[in-house]
């Protein structure tokens, strides 16, 4: 059961918690493809082949394991490799990635996200905790967060307990005083539990819980979670 009396801060996942990620990525990839068509047409042709694109991503994943927690660098270097293979200027990787990254920050929030952020931020310090490369300031939500912890900057990602402990440090509270909210049963909920936090699993799709250890609370929407936390107001 959720113990409201212990909560002094909240950590929040971003992708698929505050907004759906795949529509965002699909739009950003279209922007990238159009940019390449204008500035590097041979690379655009290479990127238009799913098999070639998959091979580049698999190659980067195996050849650059140091980038596994840095999705921005992995994307940038994949573009650079495609430019090189297509015989075009690898220096174009930087502006090409920026075209992608700018669009990646244009997210469409779930209907319950903004009201929940307003409710939670008025009561607790919030820290974003993400394995992705969203920038809460560029997304337009920076005013709600005391700090933003990313796998890219920290060097390890969820469910590693160390990144959860870093978020606790950023919130200036002990892990047991944090409620972590996220959509992924393993990365978010189980990761938070193993770091000594309370966990709220945001299960928008009515998926079965896959682990023996249970989260303190499971909700279908952020609105439902805020209603449960209203007595703490």
pLDDT band with cut points at 50, 70 and 90 for residue 50: confident
User: Could you tell me the fold of the domain covering 4-19+108-232?
Assistant: Rossmann fold (3.40.50)
132-143: average pLDDT: 95
Segments making up each domain of the chain, as ranges: 4-19+108-232, 22-104
Q: Quick: pLDDT tens for 7-43.
A: 999 999 999 999 999 999 999 999 999 999 999 999 9
**100, 75 Cβ separation under 8 angstroms:** yes
Q: Does domain 22-104 have CATH number 3.90.245.10?
A: no
Query: Any idea what DSSP says for residue 57?
Result: H
pTM, to two decimals: 0.91
Give the model's pLDDT for residue 65.
87
**171, 5 Cβ separation under 8 angstroms:** no
- Collapsing DSSP to helix, strand or coil, 10 comes out as strand
- Percent of the chain whose pLDDT exceeds 70: 99
pLDDT at 233 exceeding the cut of 70: no
Q: Quick: pLDDT tens for 192-231.
A: 999 999 999 999 999 999 999 999 999 999 999 999 998 6
**228, 220 Cβ separation under 8 angstroms:** no
40-54: average pLDDT: 88
Domains 4-19+108-232 and 22-104 are alike in CATH topology = no
Strand partners, 199: 180
Q: How far is CA 223 from the centre of its chain?
A: 20
Q: Quick: pLDDT tens for 81-108.
A: 999 999 999 999 999 999 999 999 999 9
Alpha helices in 15-49 (DSSP H): 21-39, 41-47
Record the tokens describing residue 164, joined without a space. Answer: 């959860």
Average pLDDT, the chain: 95
């Amino acid at each position: 059961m959720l113990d409201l009396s212990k909560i002094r801060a909240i950590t929040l996942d971003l992708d698929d918690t505050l907004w759906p990620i795949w529509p965002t990525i699909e739009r950003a990839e279209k922007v990238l493809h159009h940019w390449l068509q204008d500035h590097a047409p041979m690379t655009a042709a290479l990127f238009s082949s799913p098999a070639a694109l998959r091979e580049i991503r698999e190659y980067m994943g195996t050849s650059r394991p140091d980038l596994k927690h840095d999705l921005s660098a992995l994307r940038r270097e994949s573009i650079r490799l495609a430019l090189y293979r297509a015989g075009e200027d690898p220096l174009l990787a930087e502006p090409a990635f920026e075209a992608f990254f700018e669009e990646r920050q244009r997210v469409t929030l779930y209907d319950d996200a903004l009201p929940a952020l307003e409710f939670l931020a008025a009561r607790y310090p919030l820290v974003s905790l993400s394995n992705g490369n969203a920038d809460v300031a560029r997304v337009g939500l920076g005013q709600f967060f005391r700090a933003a912890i990313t796998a890219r900057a920290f060097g390890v990602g969820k469910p590693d307990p160390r990144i959860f402990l870093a978020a606790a440090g950023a919130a200036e509270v002990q892990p047991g005083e944090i409620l972590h909210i996220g959509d992924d049963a393993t990365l978010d909920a189980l990761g938070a539990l193993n770091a000594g936090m309370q966990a709220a699993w945001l299960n928008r799709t009515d998926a079965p819980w896959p682990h023996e250890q249970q989260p303190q609370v499971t909700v279908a929407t952020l609105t439902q979670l805020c209603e449960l936390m209203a007595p703490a107001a």
